[in-house]
Amino acid sequence: MSGGQPFSTELESFLLARIETYEELETLLLLRREPQSSWSPDAVGARLNIDRERALETLMRLAGAGLLRAVHSAPDKPYCYDPVDAAIDRVVEQLDVAMGSRQLDLIKLMNANAMTRMRTRAIRAFADAFVLQDREKGGGAGGGAGGGGNSEGNDA
């Protein structure tokens, strides 16, 4: 990273595994900075200048990643910051500090992560095409010639 010290391994891993977009990053930090508050999709959208649907998708994704909790008692289903464990909270704290002091480096890391995800998905799609092709031809696990089936002991 151009800002000097590299980010911690935990922070880099966290970003790769749990934060895919800048909206997710901003939403997570917004809710973390006000842990006693609940945020509706409308409120998040207004604060971050994104539409309600995008805010709702972002909140749902972060909740699914174990970073937020949906407050089900309210009709507009607001969310609050509630990471699944203290280790995640410590990494999010590092993320908040980095956002304040090394925002450009953080964005560069997120861009690199996006490229990694895209390459990984492309490789999986390419590999899946061969698996599907093999299944269509009658190959695959346990089927077809050389499919790994055990022919011994079938002479009953």
Give the pLDDT of residue 63: 93
> What integer pLDDT is reported at residue 102 of this predicted model?
86
pLDDT at position 147 is 47
Residue 148 has a pLDDT of 46
For the chain, what are the domain ranges?
A: 9-126
Tell me, yes or no, if the pTM score tops 0.75.
Answer: no
pLDDT value of residue 71: 87
pLDDT of 146 reads 46
Mean pLDDT by groups of 10 residues along the chain of 156 residues: 74 90 95 92 96 94 93 78 94 93 84 70 69 63 47 48
| pLDDT (0 to 100) of residue 74 | 64
pLDDT of the residue at 143: 47
Render 70-133 in DSSP notation, one character per residue. E-TTSTT--EEE--SSHHHHHHHHHHHHHHHH-HHHHHHHHHHHHHHHHHHHHHHHHHHHHHHH
The CATH architecture to which 9-126 belongs is: Orthogonal Bundle (1.10)
